[in-house]
Amino acid sequence: MSSSAKLDPVDLRILAALQKNARLPNKELAAAVGIAASTCLDRVNRLREAGVILGYGIRVAPDKLGRPLQALLHIRVQPHRRPLVEPFVEHVLSQPETRELYHLTGPDDFLVHVAAENAEALQRLVLDELTARDEVALVHTNLIFQRWDGGPLLPPPESGQ
């Protein structure tokens, strides 16, 4: 994979630690990966400049914000043409329920993760904001009962290891 960054074991330990806790102070991060704080700061900056670290964020509990009902909406648009994609994406992202949006291959064109107040709010989103659009041919809804986080994202091991 030619676009992969060259990362050594220390870089990988830094990435794993920051993915577990992005608020880890530099001094603690350096101690956790076994390097000097100044070296750690340089490496984190290098990873940022190389585009490996894209940013830092927080996760919030949708239920604590009055949006306990989460769902995945599989959406098919017809015709699936570039002039329709950008306005559709802008519309979906403008909805307060939208958490994530993916453009896909396969039978569905988009996957939208939403968090709604209740079933009526989810129904309003689907009927009034999505299927009411001329280009939307199908919306298939799956409710999310529970979610789990995966481990830190690291490059695949070198072949032969």
Closest residue by Cα to residue 97 from 117, 123, 119, 120: 117
**pTM for the whole structure:** 0.86
List the domain boundaries for the chain: 9-49, 62-143
What percent of the chain has a predicted confidence (pLDDT) above 90? 91
Q: What CATH number was assigned to the domain covering residues 9-49?
A: 1.10.10.10
Model confidence pLDDT, tens digit, residues 45-97 = 999 999 999 999 889 999 999 999 999 999 999 999 999 999 999 999 999 99
Model confidence pLDDT, tens digit, residues 105-151 = 999 999 999 999 999 999 999 999 999 999 999 999 999 999 999 99
Separation CA 93–CA 89 (nearest Å): 6
Q: Is CATH 3.30.70.920 the right assignment for the domain spanning 62-143?
A: yes
Q: Show the tokens assigned to 115.
A: 């968090």
